[in-house]
């Protein structure tokens, strides 16, 4: 569904991606793990169009996305739940959701239906739908960010560090939501520092290190990989929870 | 007898204050529109008012258009100036910080003022009032119909803008751009278009203020700076980005000024706005109507 071919990108003067190739098949959850500064966010921004890659290409369902602006890419069916949530803090929860559906603004009835369905699923957001989004707790903001992305009716969802800064219990909830989304037939690329949680729900995973893919394989396989355990899971570390 | 006369003076000042206050409110609205979308404070806003008045004079007297079309043409022309400011000045500097953008708008205002001086000279110009009927007496107060026009136009513009930003999809999208431009692009909102729209809209509102005040106070090339400053005072006093706040604060400012001129000395008139602005900044920086909550969530 999504194919990234030997992508190079610069972040200022830094050569942040040095020939990254990966693919995501329809219906998969693919995890991309890596430490801080490995180039994860650069890759995400390149896919979404916030950053123009210098070389290489990004194909989505056989259409070239490379160097298209984000406004166009979201119309093709790719939505990003950005790192740090990036909700519209000064707008109400409801307005945040409406803005998520900006590209479907002509379809008022459909927009209402989508919003009702999401508020049904996340009752916390329904309770707070007239509140300013910035006053929500971290976990609620993350749910709102996911819902806002879903309002665009994406077939392909990118989540950048959805567990960042959240309590373990909330992280678990977020990861449950991600699995449900796959159950609805959406394809997911999950970018995480929390390697264990990500690889446990992923079909396949990639490990990014200083701008290159150094390892790839099935989720379970990577979880058991000696290098991954050493670098990302901490040798002998206790699992946060059992899947 | 003396009492009646006294009462009339009071009412007369109040009416004058309301009229000029409505103008400050319109200028403040202009600041709020651009601020709401970009968090930039556009210090060329006063110049849009000045240009509105002078282009009105240009289309009416120089080109000989009837008053109505001349005023519309003036508003459209100034809106175009606003669009040009965004497209060729602000957009060029798009990687600059909000603060440098604000300084850019100050430069642009000096440019507009200089250009207006070259084009129109230093003389003040007048437009005829919008309706032909003369001033009439009401409770012993001379009422100029133009003052009622100014108040009415002010109220309509505030109402329309509030509805636009609160309920319309494009209005909310414009607010989303101010809040987080990258996130707005990711949801598919064309941020550049929204910013462009905000400058055009804001310039048009400024020009409306300019053409409606011109029959009362005349207009000359350097009138913009002071109007801009007082409008800014009203915008801050009312809470940046709040349309009703701007309306109320503008009128409070106009009334304060008018009473000060009537009962104290007209020499201190201009100081009133600045003193109120400073008091607001010291004691209630989020403004009378700004929500502390929202102010805490904003960067600037």
Q: Are strands A63-64 and A55-60 parallel, antiparallel or unpaired?
A: antiparallel
How many CB atoms neighbour CB B41 within 10 A? 21
Q: Please tell me the distance from the alpha carbon of residue A19 to that of residue A8, in angstroms, as a whole number.
A: 5
Q: Do A90 and B179 touch (CB under 8 A)?
A: yes
Q: How far is A73 from chain B (nearest CA, A)?
A: 8
Average pLDDT over residues B82-98: 87
For residue A191, the domain's CATH number is 3.40.50.300
Task: List, in sequence order, every residue forming a beta bridge with B76; answer none if it has no partner.
Answer: none
Say if residues A38 and A212 touch (Cβ distance below 8 Å).
Answer: no
Structure tokens at B29: 């609205």
More confident position, A35 or A4: A4
What pLDDT score does A92 carry? 94
Q: Please tell me the distance from the alpha carbon of residue A40 to that of residue A17, in angstroms, as a whole number.
A: 9
Nearest CA in chain A to B167: A95
Kindly report the pTM of this predicted structure: 0.82
Q: Concatenated DSSP letters for A59-88?
A: EETTEE-TT--HHHHHHTTEEEE-TT----
> Shortest CB distance from A88 goes to which of B169, B176, B190?
B176
Structure tokens at A212: 């290159």
Q: Give the least confident one: A37-41, A114-118, B107-111.
A: A37-41
Q: Do B185 and A50 touch (CB under 8 A)?
A: yes
What pLDDT score does B73 carry? 96
**Which of A71, A107, A142 to mutate to probe the B interface, most B CBs <10 Å?**
A71
Local confidence band at B298 (pLDDT 50, 70, 90 cut-offs) = low
Structural domain boundaries, residue A46: 2-228
> Shortest CB distance from A135 goes to which of B188, B189, B293?
B293
What pLDDT score does B5 carry? 53
What pLDDT score does A165 carry? 87
Q: Do B183 and A91 touch (CB under 8 A)?
A: no
Residue A238 has pLDDT above 70, yes or no: no
What pLDDT score does A239 carry? 56
Q: Are strands A204-209 and A29-33 parallel, antiparallel or unpaired?
A: parallel
pLDDT tens-place string over residues A101-121: 999 999 999 999 999 999 999
Chain A hits for B169, Cβ within 8 Å: 98, 102, 105
CB of A43 less than 8 A from some CB of B: no
Say if residues A67 and A145 touch (Cβ distance below 8 Å).
Answer: no
**Residue B216 phi/psi, 5° resolution?**
-95, -50
Residue A243 has pLDDT above 50, yes or no: no
Q: Please tell me the distance from the alpha carbon of residue B4 to that of residue B154, in angstroms, as a whole number.
A: 30
Q: Do B172 and A95 touch (CB under 8 A)?
A: yes
pLDDT tens-place string over residues B61-88: 999 999 999 999 999 999 999 999 999 9
Percent of chain A scored above 70 by pLDDT?
A: 96
Structure tokens at A162: 């959805």
User: Residue B194 contacts by C-beta under 8 Å, 6 or more apart in sequence?
Assistant: B37, B170, B173, B174, B177, B184
CB of A134 less than 8 A from some CB of B: yes
Chain B hits for A149, Cβ within 8 Å: 187
> Shortest CB distance from A74 goes to which of B172, B187, B294?
B187
Q: Please tell me the distance from the alpha carbon of residue B295 to that of residue B290, in angstroms, as a whole number.
A: 7
pLDDT tens-place string over residues A70-83: 999 999 999 999 99
Domain boundary assignment for chain B: 20-130+145-224
Q: Concatenated DSSP letters for B8-47?
A: HHHHHHHHHHHHHHHHHHHHHHHHHHHHHHHS---TTHHH
Residue A174 lies in a domain: yes
> Shortest CB distance from A74 goes to which of B172, B186, B297?
B186
CB of A84 less than 8 A from some CB of B: no
User: Residue B250 contacts by C-beta under 8 Å, 6 or more apart in sequence?
Assistant: B21, B22, B23, B24, B25, B26, B27, B28, B154, B231, B234, B238
Nearest CA in chain B to A107: B169
What pLDDT score does B8 carry? 78
What pLDDT score does B297 carry? 56
Nearest CA in chain B to A91: B176
Residue A142 has pLDDT above 90, yes or no: yes
Residue A238 lies in a domain: no
> Shortest CB distance from B294 goes to which of A50, A90, A103?
A90
Residue A122 has pLDDT above 70, yes or no: yes
Is residue A212 classed as helix, strand or coil in its secondary structure?
Answer: strand
Average pLDDT over residues A131-150: 94
Scan for tokens 């390697």, then name that residue. Answer: A195
Q: Please tell me the distance from the alpha carbon of residue A79 to that of residue A102, in angstroms, as a whole number.
A: 12
Q: Please tell me the distance from the alpha carbon of residue A149 to that of residue A132, in angstroms, as a whole number.
A: 18
ipTM, two decimals, is 0.87
Query: How many structural domains are present in chain A?
Result: 1
What pLDDT score does A37 carry? 84
pLDDT tens-place string over residues A178-237: 999 999 999 999 999 888 889 999 999 999 999 999 999 998 889 888 888 877 776 555
Q: Do B175 and A82 touch (CB under 8 A)?
A: no
Residue A240 lies in a domain: no
Residue A234 lies in a domain: no
Percentage helix, strand, coil for chain B under 3-state DSSP, each rounded to 5: 80, 5, 20
Residue A233 lies in a domain: no
pLDDT tens-place string over residues A88-100: 998 999 999 999 9
Residue A133 has pLDDT above 50, yes or no: yes
Question: No. of H helices and E strands in chain B?
Answer: 12, 2
Structure tokens at B271: 């100081």
**Which of B186, B240, B290, B300 to mutate to probe the A interface, most A CBs <10 Å?**
B186
Q: How far is A226 from chain B (nearest CA, A)?
A: 37
> Shortest CB distance from B187 goes to which of A50, A90, A100?
A100
**Which of B183, B191, B291, B298 to mutate to probe the A interface, most A CBs <10 Å?**
B183
Residue A201 lies in a domain: yes
Residue A43 lies in a domain: yes
Say if residues B177 and A99 touch (Cβ distance below 8 Å).
Answer: no
What pLDDT score does B211 carry? 94
């Amino acid at each position: 569904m999504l194919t990234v071919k030997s992508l190079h990108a610069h972040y200022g003067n830094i050569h942040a991606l040095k020939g990254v190739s990966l693919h995501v098949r329809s219906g998969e959850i693919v995890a991309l793990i890596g430490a801080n500064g490995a180039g994860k966010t650069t890759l995400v921004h390149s896919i979404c169009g916030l950053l123009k890659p210098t070389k290489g290409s990004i194909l989505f369902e056989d259409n070239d996305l490379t160097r298209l602006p984000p406004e166009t890419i979201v119309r093709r069916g790719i939505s990003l739940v950005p790192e740090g949530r990036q909700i519209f803090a000064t707008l109400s929860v409801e307005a945040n959701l409406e803005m998520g559906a900006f590209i479907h603004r002509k379809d008022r009835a459909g927009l209402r239906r989508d919003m009702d369905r999401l508020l049904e699923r996340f009752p916390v957001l329904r309770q707070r739908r007239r509140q300013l989004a910035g006053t929500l707790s971290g976990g609620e903001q993350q749910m709102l960010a996911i819902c806002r992305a879903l309002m665009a009716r994406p077939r392909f969802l990118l989540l950048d560090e959805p567990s960042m800064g959240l309590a373990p219990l909330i992280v678990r909830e977020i990861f449950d939501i991600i699995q449900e989304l796959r159950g609805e037939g959406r394809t997911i690329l999950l970018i995480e520092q929390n390697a264990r949680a990500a690889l446990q729900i992923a079909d396949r995973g990639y490990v990014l290190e200083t701008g290159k893919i150094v390892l790839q394989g099935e989720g379970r396989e990577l979880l058991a990989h000696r290098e991954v355990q050493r670098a990302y899971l901490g040798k002998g570390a206790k699992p946060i929870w059992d899947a | 007898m003396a009492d009646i006369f006294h009462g009339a003076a009071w009412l007369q000042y109040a009416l004058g204050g309301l009229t000029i206050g409505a103008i400050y409110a319109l200028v403040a609205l202009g600041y709020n529109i651009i601020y709401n979308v970009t968090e930039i404070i556009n210090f060329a806003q006063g110049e849009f008012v000045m240009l509105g008045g002078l282009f009105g004079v240009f289309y009416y007297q120089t080109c000989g258009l009837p008053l109505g079309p001349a005023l519309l043409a003036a508003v459209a022309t100034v809106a175009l100036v606003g669009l040009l400011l965004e497209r060729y000045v602000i957009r060029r500097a798009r990687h600059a910080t909000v603060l440098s953008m604000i300084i850019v708008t100050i430069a642009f205002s000096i440019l507009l003022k200089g250009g207006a001086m070259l084009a129109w000279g230093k003389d003040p110009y007048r437009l005829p009032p919008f309706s032909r009927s003369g001033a009439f007496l009401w409770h012993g107060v001379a009422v100029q119909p133009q003052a009622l026009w100014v108040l009415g136009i002010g109220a309509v513009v505030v109402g329309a803008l509030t509805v636009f930003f609160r309920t319309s999809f494009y209005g909310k999208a414009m607010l989303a751009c101010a809040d987080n431009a990258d996130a707005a692009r990711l949801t598919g909102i064309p941020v550049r278009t929204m910013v462009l729209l905000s400058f055009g809209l804001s310039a048009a509102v400024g020009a409306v203020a300019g053409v409606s005040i011109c029959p009362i106070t005349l207009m000359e090339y350097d009138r913009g700076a002071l109007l801009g400053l007082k409008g800014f005072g009203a915008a801050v006093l009312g809470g940046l980005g709040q349309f009703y706040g701007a309306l109320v604060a503008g009128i409070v400012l106009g009334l304060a000024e008018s009473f000060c001129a009537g009962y104290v000395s007209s020499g201190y008139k201009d100081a009133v706005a600045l003193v109120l602005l400073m008091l607001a900044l010291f004691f209630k920086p989020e403004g009378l109507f700004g929500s502390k909550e929202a102010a805490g969530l904003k960067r600037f």
